[in-house]
Amino acid sequence: MKRFCIFCFVACVFACVVFTGCDKEDDDFVVKASVTNGSAYNSKVDIVKAVVYPGENSLTESAYKSGGFTIELPKTLADTYLGQFDEDYLQELNEFGIEVSDATAKSAAVYFEGYKSGSYFGDFILAKYEENETETPNTYTMSYMAADASYIYVDKNLSMKGSFNEKLSKEDILDLFDEEDIEMFDNFNFEIIVSHDNSLKKGWNILYEIMEQVLIVSFTSSGANANFKLTVTNTTKNPGGMKWYSDDEFYEMVYGDGDSKSYSPYSKALKKFSLQPKNRFFSPPSRQTFFQK
C-alpha cells in the first residue's frame, strides 16, 4: 500500500503543475484564449492576470473581452521567479523509476486568473473531457478521460521520462473500498499505470496531464468480475481537442457539481455498482509545484 500512497502523492503533485496552458498554434509566448461560453463572463471578468508560481506574482495582465483574452508572456523569467526541484519529490520519482535529466533545473508555472474590479473571479484553464458508457448482455464498460494543460518555464533543457505499473493486492483494494462494496464480485482487479514522457526546452513549454479511468464488469453464469484501470500520462504531446473553460464550468461538466474538484473514481460506473471509495484518489489542484523556492 505504501507504493500506492507514493503514486497518489506524485500524481497529485504533478497535477498541481499541469493545470492550464496555451494553444501550440499560437506564438511561442502569446496565449490566445477563446473561452467556451465565454460571452457569459464578459460582465463578470474585466482583467485576466498571468500569475506565476511559486511566489504568486503577477507577470502581466490583459483585458477580458468578447469571450476571451490574449496575454503575451515575457520571453525569459528572472531567477527570482523560479523554484528548484523539491528533494522529496525527486525521491518519489526515483522510486517510480522516473528519471530526471538535470535536478539542478529551475522552473515556474503560470496560471490565468480572472478578476472583476479587483476581486478574484476564478481561473481559466485549457482542458478536455470525454466519457463513454457501453453495455451488452455480458459486459458493462465505463470510461472517462480528463486532460489539462500547463504553461511551464524552465531555465535549461530538461527531460522527465519513465513509467510505473502496479496491480494492487486484495489487501490494498480493501484499504480503498469497504469489503461489502466489492464482495458482489468474484474478482476485483485494480491496476495503476503512471507514465512521464516530457522533453522540455529552455524557455516556455506546454505540458499535458491525461488521466483515464476504465471499469469493465464481465458477467458470468456464476457472478461477475470487475477490472479497474487507472492511467496517468504526463507528456508534452498535445492529445488534441483541448478547449478553454472557466474552471468552475469545467469541473461541473466533469463531476456534476462545483464541489468535487478532484480527479477520482466517483464516476457513474462506480455509483452503478454502489462502489464508494473510502478516500478520494486525487486532491484538488493547488498552487504548489514540484519545485520549491
SS3 labels along 72-111: ECCCCCCHHHCEEECHHHHHHHHHCCCEECCCCCEEEEEE
Does residue 239 contact residue 147 with C-beta atoms inside 8 Å? Answer: yes
User: pLDDT tens across 210-261, in order?
Assistant: 999 888 989 888 888 889 899 999 999 999 999 999 999 988 887 765 444 4
Q: Give the β-pairing of 187-200 and 224-235.
A: parallel
User: pLDDT tens across 45-82, in order?
Assistant: 999 999 998 888 899 999 999 999 999 999 999 999 99
The residue that leads in pLDDT, 177 or 134, is 134
Mean pLDDT of the chain: 79
Report the pLDDT value the prediction gives residue 105, as an integer from 0 to 100.
Answer: 94
The secondary structure of the chain, three-state, reads CHHHHHHHHHHHHHHHHCCCCCCCCCCCCEEEEEECCHHHHCCCCCEEEEEEECCCEEEEEEECECCEEEEECCCCCCHHHCEEECHHHHHHHHHCCCEECCCCCEEEEEEEEEEECCEEEEEEEEEEEEEEEEECCCEEEEEEEEEEEEEEEECCCEEEEEEEEEECCHHHHHHHCCHHHHCCCCEEEEEEEEEEEEEECCEEEEEEEEEEEEEEEEECCCCEEEEEEEEEEEECCCCCCCEEEEHHHHHHHHHCCCCCCCCCCCCHHHHHCCCCCCCCCCCCCCCCCCEEC
Cell numbers at 54, concatenated: 511559486
Beta-ladder partners of 164 = 194
Does residue 73 contact residue 151 with C-beta atoms inside 8 Å? Answer: yes
Does residue 106 contact residue 82 with C-beta atoms inside 8 Å? Answer: yes
User: pLDDT tens across 173-223, in order?
Assistant: 888 777 777 777 888 899 999 999 999 999 999 999 999 988 898 988 888
For residues 140-154, give the mean pLDDT: 91
Q: Given a cut of 50, is residue 266 above it in pLDDT?
A: no
Q: Specify the amino acid at residue 43.
A: S
Cell numbers at 220, concatenated: 458470468
pTM: 0.77
Q: Given a cut of 50, is residue 41 above it in pLDDT?
A: yes
Name the 3-class secondary structure at 187: strand
